[in-house]
A and B are shown apart, each in its own frame.
Chain A
Amino acid sequence: GAGVSQSPSNKVTEKGKDVELRCDPISGHTALYWYRQSLGQGLEFLIYFQGNSAPDKSGLPSDRFSAERTGGSVSTLTIQRTQQEDSAVYLCASSLARRTNEKLFFGSGTQLSVL
């Protein structure tokens, strides 16, 4: 596609429910990143994929968070047993390669609200 696409754009859920957030990166981009943007905070790195593997999961805040990527394309971020502190905007980004100077292209994010 023309850009990074994320769905849903907004998600309201009840505490304790599981949620899945989807990211469609730009076609051909091998690197994919998930970030979290909480109110008043910067962008917090969650996980990075190179192809289908995740060499860096250091940012996942707890074992309730997991992510996968299939076919070197679409990625799903899953949050189990959601808590109110999980409320944030979850951003996905992709880039052509893992090189650290590579420009990241961001999606518009998923606004998650946990009631």
Chain B
Amino acid sequence: GNSVTQMEGPVTLSEEAFLTINCTYTATGYPSLFWYVQYPGEGLQLLLKATKADDKGSNKGFEATYRKETTSFHLEKGSVQVSDSAVYFCALSDNGGSQGNLIFGKGTKLSVKP
């Protein structure tokens, strides 16, 4: 079945450090891929998405490229800020599948220190 695997946290970085959170997936067909973010005390919200191979999603300085050959969608940011501290979830949806739900990874907690 479809699944998402992302690197386990927590990840602790200093401000202005480079961030990579790895995400790989298993899916039949051609899924859409997402990164959701959950800031402390808030609900999940969409950070970025990519709907086909080689697409790059970007938002708030974060980027992720849909790599079909490596079945990956790694999240990157060149210079993190304290305000980026949150839990990040990689997810996929099965385009054209019978289910309308997203399948999420376990989440990666990021803490950025000043």
Residues of A at the B interface (CB closer than 8 Å) are: 3-4, 31, 33, 35, 40-43, 45, 48, 50, 55-56, 58-59, 91, 93, 98-101, 103-109
* Nearest CB of A to B42, in Å: 6
Which B residues are CB-close (under 8 A) to A56?
98-101
* Nearest CB of A to B48, in Å: 11
Which B residues are CB-close (under 8 A) to A107?
43
Q: How far is the CA of A55 from the CA of B99 in the complex (A)?
A: 8
When C-beta atoms are compared, the residue in chain A nearest to B45 turns out to be: A106
Q: Which of B32, B49, B99 has the most CB of A within 10 A?
A: B99
- Which residues of B, 70-114, contact A by the 8 Å Cβ criterion? 89, 91, 93-107
* Chain B residues touching A, majority SS: loop
When C-beta atoms are compared, the residue in chain A nearest to B31 turns out to be: A100
Question: What mask results when residues 30 to 63 of chain B are scored 1 for a CB within 8 Å of chain A, else 0?
Answer: 0010001000011111100101000000000000
Interface residue from B44, B99, B101 paired with A106 (Cβ < 8 Å) = B44
Known contacts: A43-B89, A101-B51. The answer to whether A4 contacts B43 by CB under 8 A is yes
Interface residue from B46, B99, B105 paired with A104 (Cβ < 8 Å) = B46
Inter-chain pairs besides A42-B106, A43-B44, 15 sampled, C-beta below 8 Å? A33-B101, A41-B106, A43-B89, A43-B102, A56-B98, A56-B99, A91-B44, A99-B100, A100-B94, A100-B95, A101-B49, A104-B44, A104-B46, A108-B43, A109-B43
